[in-house]
C-alpha cells in the first residue's frame, strides 16, 4: 500500500477521542487516547481501501466518471 497523507478531524466525546478523515468522511473511528485513535483510523482506512479494491476487481465491475452539481 502506498503512503497517502489525509487529514484527521477529531473531537473529544466523554472519555473517547472520535475522528473521521476529512477527505473520506465515511471513515470514522475512536480511541481512548489520540495515539489509539490515529492507529484505529489507519486500520479503518485500510479496510475501506481493501473493500473498494475487492469491489473493483469483480469480473463485471465497471466505472465511469460523471459530472455532478452539488449545492454549495
Q: What is the pLDDT of residues 4-59, one digit of tens each?
A: 899 999 999 999 999 999 999 999 999 999 999 999 999 999 999 888 777 766 66
- The pLDDT tens digits for 4-16 are 899 999 999 999 9
Asked whether residue 3 is domain-assigned, the answer is: no
Asked whether residue 37 is domain-assigned, the answer is: yes
Asked whether residue 31 is domain-assigned, the answer is: yes
Give the total number of structural domains in the chain.
Answer: 1
Asked whether residue 30 is domain-assigned, the answer is: yes
Q: Going edge to edge, which strands form the sheet with 28-31?
A: 8-13, 16-21, 28-31
Asked whether residue 8 is domain-assigned, the answer is: no
Q: Which residues have CB under 8 Å from 61's CB, separation 6+?
A: 55
Q: Tell me the three-class secondary structure of 48-70, residue by residue.
A: HHHHHHHHHCCCCCCCCCCCCCC
Q: Which residues span the domain enclosing 52?
A: 13-56
Asked whether residue 68 is domain-assigned, the answer is: no
Q: What pLDDT does residue 3 have?
A: 84
Asked whether residue 33 is domain-assigned, the answer is: yes
pTM of the entire predicted model: 0.72
Asked whether residue 67 is domain-assigned, the answer is: no
Question: Is the pLDDT at 72 greater than 70, yes or no?
Answer: no
Amino acid at each position: 500500500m502506498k503512503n497517502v497523507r489525509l487529514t484527521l478531524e477529531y473531537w473529544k466525546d466523554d472519555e473517547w477521542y472520535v475522528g473521521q478523515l476529512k477527505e473520506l468522511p465515511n471513515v470514522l473511528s475512536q480511541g481512548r487516547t489520540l495515539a489509539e485513535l490515529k492507529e484505529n483510523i489507519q486500520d479503518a482506512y485500510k479496510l475501506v481501501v481493501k473493500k473498494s479494491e475487492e469491489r473493483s476487481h469483480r469480473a463485471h465491475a465497471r466505472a465511469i466518471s460523471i459530472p455532478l452539481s452539488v449545492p454549495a
